Structure 1
């Protein structure tokens, strides 16, 4: 019997594998090893820029024209863009058995009410496509307003909850706030964490000292110490197969519940054998007495000011979140412009008939 691949070994360690692409034709190749999937506007833009995904843009535009026949181009384009995002998610949900993350617009990352409205809209559109909300994660940037909005979606005063995946997580402050808010999933960005520490703390010489890996281990230790069992860790933004293998050696006990990976890294794991020897995880020491309460707890009335103070002190998220939002927002605007052009083209064709 041949040795299992690193991809199989990672799955057998208890860590679930998620695909990180909107190019759903590529996901089929890895279907046997996948449980979940993630998308975002940047990934959708990359997909629909290819000829083989052109039909899905046309279908989204036709849907919007049919649903809002008398609407302005702006309103029609907004609905077409939302429909495009959920159509990609629906296609992927037919391939993976677990949950699919669909993103809100990164340009509303600091607008509490807009995030809630967008989350509800995306879920309603997915349910129109017969995707139950139990299989949906609404991906929201982990700003303070984003975490507040996620809390409201996860714990509504009436109606069914909408589950969330908090993206652009770079530090322990964000991770702690998300768990206190009771979100379903957080996504720490392994590679970008290392980028920041390479500049601000010096490059690590050993993989075991990789700042992104250490962050995941710190979050795992923090959640275990506090008893935060609701919120799962989905490690994202890996740059190399070696990072995944190193983190995977600790299994779920010292690593993430899930990893989300683009096709090139899935393929890289598939062509490597094993993860190497499993490593015993020693939890990081956590002082529960000094833990701030951003959401819930006796001092949570000052949660916003405590969060702002601690984010500034920790520094990394204060830099990396705006940087990540800027990149995603550029791609969201390009995608919106593409959809708007298609809406205008369809209107011109309709006027000629």
Structure 2
């Protein structure tokens, strides 16, 4: 068996790509997208029809250019999601505009609009995860969406333990802690390289997984943003792992024996102190402030997703003109 097939025995594999032509090869359960992935995929000529459809849709919704571009952007995300759902049996994650990361109410309205657009295409909301940055406002918005609207959420750009705890307390469906970006920060800060179980990203996700299992939280832990297959192998047994096509290919080619590293049984071996952040904004913000890595990577991630979103927005504006 390949390493990929072995991991699939105890971890749900998710394709981290907007290029649905490559997703089918690896037979993942779910797929995740983000503005950067959609921007890259949208530049391929075979996806031009999805953009053309989004442009026509936007023109039918309103006449103001700026509003048209917003409608076209949302429709394009949904178009990609619908195509991906023809391939994967599970769910697709579709991201809320990163520029709304500090606006609870606008995030809720955008999520509801995306779900309505999916529904118009015949896609049940159970097959969609709305992806929201793990800011204080994003977590609060996700709680409302989950509890009042039964809209499932994927809390992304998650780097700090307080974010993970607040998400679990908020009852969100899934979190995406970013393994590779945590590693990037620590390598730059320390000048050291980290391998295997010593990888700070691996340690972070392992701690979150163990804490969730010890406390009976139902929120799914989905490791994301991997830099190498070693990180993935160290998290074998995590609930979900979302992996790029390039790393999926390497895992598929590798035939070595794999050891399961994370499990509910192992999680209970060492008890962790229970803490709470969801209803305590001051404590949440203070603990995030004390974690330079989490604070810096969250801000950077939002900026980068917003920048790629703006690039895509501009492409659509030009086509609308």
Distance verdict in 2 for CA 1:52–1:294, change over 3 Å: same
* Whole-angstrom CA distance in 2 between matches of 1:316 and 1:285: 25
Structure 2 counterpart SS, 1:138: strand
Structure 2 counterpart SS, 1:183: coil
* Whole-angstrom CA distance in 2 between matches of 1:287 and 1:21: 36
Corresponding residue of 1:23? 19
Q: Could you tell me which runs of 5 or more consecutive residues in structure 1 were left unpaired when the two chains were aligned.
A: 345-353
Out of 274, 277, 289, which is 1:294 matched to?
Answer: 277
* Whole-angstrom CA distance in 2 between matches of 1:182 and 1:277: 31
Q: Could you tell me the TM-score, scaled by structure 2's length?
A: 0.95
On the 8 A contact 2:134/2:157 being kept in 1, the answer is yes
On the 8 A contact 1:10/1:275 being kept in 2, the answer is no
* Whole-angstrom CA distance in 2 between matches of 1:15 and 1:277: 12
Corresponding residue of 1:323? 300
Distance verdict in 2 for CA 1:56–1:275, change over 3 Å: farther
Which string of whole-angstrom CA distances, capped at 9 and with x for unpartnered residues, describes residues 121-165 of structure 1? Answer: 100001111110001000000000000000110011xxx411100
* Whole-angstrom CA distance in 2 between matches of 1:224 and 1:87: 36
Counterpart mapping for 1:209-220 below 5 A: 209-220=198-209
2:164 matched to 1:175? yes
On the 8 A contact 2:161/2:208 being kept in 1, the answer is yes
Corresponding residue of 2:61? 67
Structure 2 counterpart SS, 1:155: helix
- Larger mean CA deviation between 273-282 and 129-138 belongs to 273-282
Corresponding residue of 1:77? 69
- CA displacement at 1:176 relative to structure 2: 0.4
Structure 1 counterpart SS, 2:235: helix
Number of equivalent positions: 317
Stretches of 4+ aligned residues off by more than 6 angstroms: none
| Root mean square deviation of aligned Cα | 1.5
Q: Could you tell me which runs of 5 or more consecutive residues in structure 2 were left unpaired when the two chains were aligned.
A: none
Give the structure with higher Rg (CA).
1
Corresponding residue of 2:114? 122
Distance verdict in 2 for CA 1:278–1:227, change over 3 Å: closer
* Whole-angstrom CA distance in 2 between matches of 1:109 and 1:285: 33
Out of 284, 292, 295, which is 1:307 matched to?
Answer: 284
Corresponding residue of 1:350? none
* Whole-angstrom CA distance in 1 between matches of 2:77 and 2:309: 11
Structure 2 counterpart SS, 1:139: strand
